[in-house]
Amino acid sequence: MMEEKKTTKRLKANTALRQIITDFYADAHRAKAEGRPVGWIPPMNGLIELFYAMDIHPIFPENWAPICAAIGTNSNNFAYAQRRGYSSDLCGYFRNNIGYALDGIAEENQPLDGLPKPDFLISFGAGCIPTMKTFQVLCDHFNVPVFRADLPQVAMENIGEHHIKYGVTQIKRIIKFLEDLTGKRFDIDRLRQAVAYTDEACRLWDQIMDARRTIPSPFSAAEIGIMFVMVTRHGTKIAVDFLRDVLEEVRGKVERGEGVILNERIRLFWDNIPLWYNMKLFNYFEKWDAVVVAETYTSAWTMRMDTDKPLESIAYKSLVSYPLVSCVSLDKRIELIRKAVVDYKIDGAIFHSNRSCKPISMGQMDIMKMLSEELNIPGVMFDGDHMDGGSFSEAQFRTRIDAFMEMLMERKGNIY
Amino acid sequence: MDINFRDLYERRLDIVKEHKEKDNCPVIGTLCSYVPVEILHSFGIIPVRIWGQSENLHKADALLQPFICPPVRHLMALGLEGHYNFLDGIVHCYTCDATCGLFNIWTRNLKPGFSHLISLPYMTIDESLTYTMAEFNNFIEKLESFTGKKFSPDNLKRSITIHNEARSLMKEVYYLKKAGFPAGYSGISAMNICSQTLPLEIFLPELRKYVKKMKEDDRGSSGKLKILISGSVISDTSLMAFIEEAGGDIVADDACIGLRMLRDEISEGDPLQSLARYYLTRPPCASRSDFPSRKAHFLETLTDFDIDAVIFIHQKFCDPHLSDHPFMKKVIDETGIPNMQLEMEGDELTGRVQTRIESFFEMLERR
Ligand code: SF4
Ligand code: SF4
């Protein structure tokens, strides 16, 4: 048997990332203290560009959830949600965020000082049901102005003119609301600048991800935390600067032929959200000299923005972000994975069957079937939960993965 | 009463198949009550709500995880078993994530000749209406190329008229029952399902006869407590019967198929616009509502039907309803009306559920 090897080569960018995370929340508290509005919004839509263009600090409850999972306050929040009558079969993001916003927020001494309470809320139609419902609960709970926006869920391949047009209508309504709220006029050129930053961030993101096509791969899925900037700092220079540094570091590794592990032999694909409370799991594969080099989740930002059409661009972004990674566009998602598996020279795929997230988990069997039938790439599925460690057995995971990896080793002709 | 929707319900798939053969018309499956069936009907297509419970639920395991709600898993199993092979296509209107996934997985694996997903907005402002009409026009274009027929506004008007008639008669059935007509809710439920699964040309004449007879018959008062049941898909007839034996009279529902679709009529005027308005303003399902709009209709129904108690019947893993429940409970608690929640696992009426219902009614009687 082999010994478990240690990972030593985390990206240096992680130090900067920690600072970015701290600053994001510190900025939010500062905005609050200075009387600038803080708005809570659903993630991954074009409102973030609008917020930054209007000097409004955004808060994304959905992004707070992984932080809670990492620091361990998630179980506390789950307990609060349960006490309020929310079933434990609901998505972990939902339970964590409801539990936190309704009760946990009142606790003292929170990491990162917790979330500043919202000055207003934007409740959306778009996204999955748990996201939509999270905001409905928040709107009912916080006594603050609420803007009800609307965006239908459209399969990515079906997005047409009338969808974009409707999205633009909604954005114009929101602009009016924000102007009234802040007493400031909206400036289209500032939005254009924000959209340009996002476009650049997406371009850099693609380049960073592309670098992982190299064998050996310069970094693994354990670095997925860098997507924090793609969720919270789109529309700002902060994301662009950070990603530029990441790209430089990653390219340096590629040039030097420096892989994330010493003798990379097996390249893996990961489907579904990571287990935020157990990111070490990604290192488990190292004992077979295997690295997770691509994920479905990270493809959510494979898009371009058009600065000539800033309103249309953010409408489009709002429309595609969720369908792209969920079961709304299953065919599109399958197409994306098919391409990634070829481009990244994948040997096997790991499917996290995520009890907490139905929309991303639905269709995984189809994806697995496609990979094996069309590309002869084997896959393995394990039961987990992206937020709730109580629904995950590491022992079972190991048994599954061990057998799968042995099989992959044999296929590769790597007999130890 | 000799008109029995239960019997039609049992034979519904055979009836559709016969009809299809006789008239040589396409049959299209639907997954949600938001699909504008009037449009399908105007093209001479029979819309059939895909419905039912499979005896081989494990068949779904190959494509769906165990944490997907039981109704969706049942439908997938029925599809895989070939019960719906006679369909020429499938149409869905985005509501919850689980049915959206089912639509895509069904389409990939069962490869229907026609498939289409309609994406409705959630608001009722003017722009939403314009958007919805564009969405419907998209659907119409696809149907035109599928059937080789041109869309006819006049046909749509006719389809709307008979759907209006059916809905208003069904609504009458609820009010006649409330006024004391002795009918079990399982009969009403069968009527509701028939309205979505049979060609209207077969269902409507039966419905007319049924309402006529109801009006002629004597009525009294059941003297039982008036119950409203609320949830997503409520199809377990043994559960309905058990509630009625325990001392309840289910007079109203807030469920996927039922009163919610019957409150409004599709107005006259431009048929496509009226249709769009109907679907946007009908009482919303949990997947398509925000709390205030759901609350309004709920309170209206409680008063309208003089409700004594509410029973929530929720499917396990059902995100929209489980996440609405604490809010809805608060709304009802404020009215002082007693209520309870049953979480179903898609299986038959279990002992645990029976005991909970019995103690609920004991509590109600002691009040
Ligand atoms: S997409 Fe999945 S993980 Fe995200 S909120 Fe929705 S159900 Fe939860
Ligand atoms: S509404 Fe609930 S029960 Fe119905 S299909 Fe959706 S998740 Fe399942």
Tell me the torsion sign for CA atoms B238, B242, B248, B249: positive
Among chain B residues, the shortest Cα distance to A165 is held by B131
Tell me which residue range forms the domain holding B62.
11-153
pLDDT recorded at residue A243: 97
pLDDT given for residue A303 in this prediction: 85
What does the alpha-carbon distance between residue A294 and residue A344 come to, in Å, rounded to a whole number? 7
For residue B283, tell me if it sits in a domain: no
The per-residue pLDDT for A323 is 81
Distance B344 CA to ligand 2 centre (A): 12
Where do runs of H (alpha helix) occur along A211-309? 228-232, 237-256
Ligand 2: residue of B67, B69, B100 to mutate (most ligand atoms within 8 A of CB) is B69
Pair A260, A9: CB distance under 8 Å: yes
Which residue would you say has higher pLDDT here, A300 or B195? Answer: B195
CATH number at residue B75: 3.40.50.11890
Separation CA B80–CA B67 (nearest Å): 19
Nearest CA to ligand 1 atom 3: A357
CA of B23 to the centre of ligand 1 (A): 45
Nearest to B173 by CA among B123, B226, B210, B121: B210
What are the chain B neighbours of A154 within 8 Å (beta carbons)? Answer: 119
Distances (CA, A) of B134 to A161, A391, B94, B203, B276: 10, 44, 16, 31, 10
User: Is the Cβ of B98 closer than 8 Å to some Cβ of chain A?
Assistant: yes
B101 → chain A, closest CA residue: A327
Residue with tokens 């079990």: B184
Residue B40 inside a domain? The answer is yes
The pair of structure tokens assigned to B222 is 């059941």
Does A196 reside within a domain?
no
Quote the distance between the C-alpha of residue A394 and its chain's center.
23
By C-alpha distance, the chain B residue nearest A322 is B97
Q: Cβ contact (<8 Å) for B128 and A133?
A: no
Chain A residue at shortest CA distance from B118: A154
Structure tokens at A332: 């599109």
B325 vs A contacts (CB less than 8 Å): 85, 87
Residues 6 or more apart in contact with residue A161 via CB below 8 angstroms: none
Q: Taking the alpha carbons of B22, B26, B29, B33 in that order, is the dihedral positive or negative?
A: negative
pLDDT surpassing 60 at residue A5: no
Q: Is residue B235's pLDDT more than 90?
A: no
Record the tokens describing residue B30, joined without a space: 């639907």
Query: Which of A130, A328, A363 comes nearest B319 by C-beta?
Result: A130
Closest ligand 2 atom to residue B319 Cα is 7
pLDDT above 80 (res B205) = yes
Contact residues for B67 (Cβ-Cβ < 8 A; gap 6+): A89, A355, A358, A361, B317
Q: Is the CB of A227 under 6 A from ligand 1?
A: no
**Is the CB of A325 within 6 Å of ligand 1?**
no
Tell me what percent of the residues of chain A surpass a pLDDT of 70: 97
- Whether residue B209 is predicted with pLDDT greater than 90 in this model: the reply is yes
Position A54 in a domain:
yes
| pLDDT more than 90, % of chain A | 83
Confidence grade of residue B346 (pLDDT, cut at 50, 70, 90):
low
Residues of A in contact with B327 (CB under 8 A): 136-137, 140
Token pair recorded at residue B119: 């994406």
Is B232 a residue whose pLDDT tops 60? yes
Q: Does B324 touch chain A (CB under 8 A)?
A: yes
Domain count of the fold of chain B: 1
Position A158 in a domain: yes
Half-sphere exposure of A94 (CA within 13 A, CB side): 30
Does any domain span residue A104? yes
Residue A97 belongs to a domain: yes
The model's pLDDT over B295-311, given as tens digits with 9 standing for 90+, comes to 999 999 999 999 999 99
- Could you tell me which chain A residue has the CA closest to the CA of B123? A150
Q: How far is CA A250 from CA A256, A298, B223, B283, in A?
A: 10, 16, 76, 54
Mean of pLDDT over chain A: 92
pLDDT at A3: 43
Contact B320 A129 (CB under 8 A): yes
Ligand 2, atom 6, residue with closest C-alpha: B96
- The answer to whether residue A164 is domain-embedded is yes
Query: Reduced to 3 DSSP states, what percent helix, strand and coil does chain B have, rounded to the nearest 5?
Result: 55, 10, 30
Domain membership flag for residue B135? yes
In the block, which residue shows the tokens 């898909």?
Answer: B233
**In the prediction, which pLDDT does B366 show?**
87
Mean pLDDT (whole number) for B275-293: 92
| SS3 annotation, A268-287 | EEEECCCCCCCHHHHHHHHH
Give the position of tokens 């035109």. B144
**Cβ atoms of residues A359 and B101 within 8 Å:** yes
Q: How far apart are CA B185 and CA B253, in angstroms?
A: 10
Q: Please, are residues B135 and B118 in contact by the beta-carbon 8 Å criterion?
A: yes
Domain membership of residue B5 (yes or no) is no
What's residue A43's pLDDT? 79
B100 in A contact zone (CB under 8 Å) = yes
The dihedrals phi and psi of A351, each to the nearest 5 degrees, come to -110, 115
* Whether the Cβ atoms of residue A139 and residue A121 lie closer than 8 Å to each other: yes
Q: Which comes out higher in pLDDT, residue B224 or A300? A: B224
* Cβ A138 vs Cβ A40: under 8 Å: yes
Residue B290 banded pLDDT, cuts 50, 70, 90: confident
Q: How confident is the model at residue B347 (pLDDT cuts 50, 70, 90)?
A: low
| CA separation, residue A151 to residues A169, A304, A329, A372, B129 (Å) | 10, 20, 16, 36, 13
As to burial, measured by CB atoms within 10 angstroms (0-12 exposed, 13-18 middle, 19+ buried), residue B211 is middle
Residue A9: the pLDDT is: 65
- Mark yes or no for CB contact A327/B63 under 8 Å: no
CA B345 to CA A73: how far, in whole Å?
A: 30
**A348-354 and A379-384: which strand pairing?**
parallel
Is residue B110 a part of any domain in this protein? Answer: yes
Give the pLDDT of residue A42: 87
Q: Which of B120, B131, B287 sits opposite A129 (nearest CB)?
A: B287
| Partner-chain contact A130 B323, CB within 8 Å | yes
Say which CATH number the domain at A84 has: 3.40.50.11890
Residue A329 lies in a domain: no
Residue B176 pLDDT more than 60?
yes
Ligand 2, atom 1, residue with closest C-alpha = B232
Residue B214 lies in a domain: no
Chain A interface test: which of B141, B319, B341, B343 (most A C-beta within 10 Å): B319
**Range in A25-29, A257-261, B109-113, B275-279 the model is least confident about:** A257-261
- Residue B57, pLDDT > 80, answer yes
Partners of residue A359 in chain B, C-beta under 8 Å: 97, 100-101
Q: Per the CB < 8 Å rule, is B123 touching A125?
A: yes
List the domain range (segments joined by +) for residue A120. Answer: 36-190
Summarize the confidence of residues B328-351 as an average pLDDT.
89
pLDDT digits (tens, 9 = 90+) for A149-206: 888 989 988 999 999 999 999 999 999 999 999 999 999 999 999 999 999 999 999 9
Whole-number pLDDT of residue A1: 39
Whether the upstream peptide bond of residue A216 has omega within 30° of 0, thus cis, is yes
The dihedral through the CA atoms of B89, B99, A367, B53 has a sign that is negative
The tens digit of pLDDT for each residue in B76-107 reads 999 999 999 999 999 999 999 999 999 999 99
Is residue B71 one of the residues assigned to a domain? yes
Q: How confident is the model at residue B21 (pLDDT cuts 50, 70, 90)?
A: very high
Q: How far off is chain B from A272, nearest CA to CA, in Å?
A: 14
CA distance A76 to B64: 31
Please state, in angstroms and rounded to a whole number, the distance separating the CA atoms of residues A216 and A199: 28
A133:B326 CB<8 A: no
* B121 inside 8 A of chain A by CB: yes
Query: What is the total count of domains within chain A?
Result: 1
Looking at CA atoms only, how far is residue B314 from chain A in angstroms? 11
Please provide the average confidence, as pLDDT, over all residues in chain B: 93
Ligand 2 proximal residues by C-beta, below 6 Å: B 69, 71-72, 96, 98-99, 232-233, 287, 315, 318-321
- Among A133, A150, A154, whose Cβ lies nearest the Cβ of B323? A133
Q: Is A357 in the pocket of ligand 1 (CB under 6 A)?
A: yes
In a domain, A55, yes or no: yes
- From A234's Cα to the closest Cα of chain B, the distance in A is 26
